[in-house]
Amino acid sequence: MLDAIREGAPISRAEISRRSDISKPTVSLALRSLLDAGLVREAERGPDGPGYGAVYFEPVAEAALVLGLDLGARFVRGAVCDLGGAIRARQDVELAVADVEGATEAIARLRDSLLEAAGLDPELVDGVVVGVPGVVAADGTVQLAENVARLEGRRFGDELQAALGLRVTLANDINLAALGEQWQGVARGVDDFAFLSIGTGMGAGLVLGGELHRGRNGAAGEVDFALVGIGQALDPSAPQVAELALNLAGLNADPRAVFGAARNGDVNARGVVDEVARRIALHIAAIAGVADVELVVLGGGIGANGDLLLDPVSRLLAQWLPFPPRIEVSTLGEAAVLAGALAVGLQAALENVFSKRAAVTA
């Protein structure tokens, strides 16, 4: 019912009943609980102006706040949103040193700055969701974390929780990016898809049956290892693009320059891009052949070059697979991880706030 109110506000009892397929008497009882909990209020106006006697309802977006963070090797991105999903503040800070201590201090400062910018009571923060470049194991330790010094093997979530005084949920950044695309991006309405991030490294987030698939060790989507036994260099990430440019075309250029030259018609640069596309297609084929996903979303600095990559990758997959997935470029870009963090936080906040307030009013 709360979802129906959030999506249709301002909305009447009758419309809530229709959308949620719940009887009107039950809707009335549930509305009373939501009103008492402070999660819903009567709207001053209906969808087309004054209601002329009809009562309409809307969610109380300010009932709680969610803080989302994206920790990278050189930055921390942050945003705070309300229960309606509206971004109340958005800021980034650079990391002077990419280590755990520096990241913790930067996150604490960013938390304070975001809440001050939002202009809302800090006590309204329900929790913090942080995307990290590594696998978050079941015991809370971070593994396969190479981009942030001394992050490997630590219970970073517990450390942040102590530093911030808030409930902290730690998650793999690419998994969050997949959830961000599912919530607000090109994967909306798609039950089976993969988010493939290709930048300084490579990783994937898998959504199967509408739910994030983490795997037994939380390491589902670590595609760096998918073709490890082939015995060939098949990595399409940024360091390999620069190496390919030098070896294949004699170009001493960074990936941005290589893709730029390819756009300008440079034949040698185009050959490098074609090889990158082949390597991307090989990794997608491994995912699609096993999980039979409908869609693969490309993200990261390399993956964002859809104008040069989508066609060759799609052509190769059509040749190799009986049921090739559709390939799209992320519509959220660098904000995908943040969007996923906020989506996870919102789901938890809605449940937590209702439970807490319902208990108080009981």
**Domains of the chain with bracketed CATH:** 2-59 (1.10.10.10), 64-177+336-361 (3.30.420.40), 187-331 (3.30.420.40)
**In the block, residue with structure tokens 């290709």:** 198
Instruction: State mean pLDDT over 336-351.
Output: 94
Mean pLDDT on 78-100: 92
Angle, helices 336-361 vs 173-184, to 10°: value is 80
Evaluate if residue 122 carries a pLDDT over 60: yes
Lowest-confidence segment of 49-58, 258-267, 326-335 by average pLDDT:
49-58
Residue 52 has what pLDDT? 59
Threshold 0.75, pTM exceeds: yes
* pLDDT per position as a tens digit, 16-74: 999 989 999 999 999 998 898 888 999 988 877 655 567 899 988 888 999 999 999 89
CA atoms within 13 A on the CB side of 56: 16
pLDDT in tens, 279-330: 999 999 999 999 999 999 999 999 999 999 999 999 999 999 999 999 999 9
> How many Å apart are CA 199 and CA 300, to the nearest integer?
5
Q: Please report, rounded to a whole number, the percentage of residues in the chain having pLDDT higher than 90.
A: 75
Q: How far apart are CA 252 and CA 258, in angstroms?
A: 9
**Under 8 Å between Cβ of 77 and 113:** no
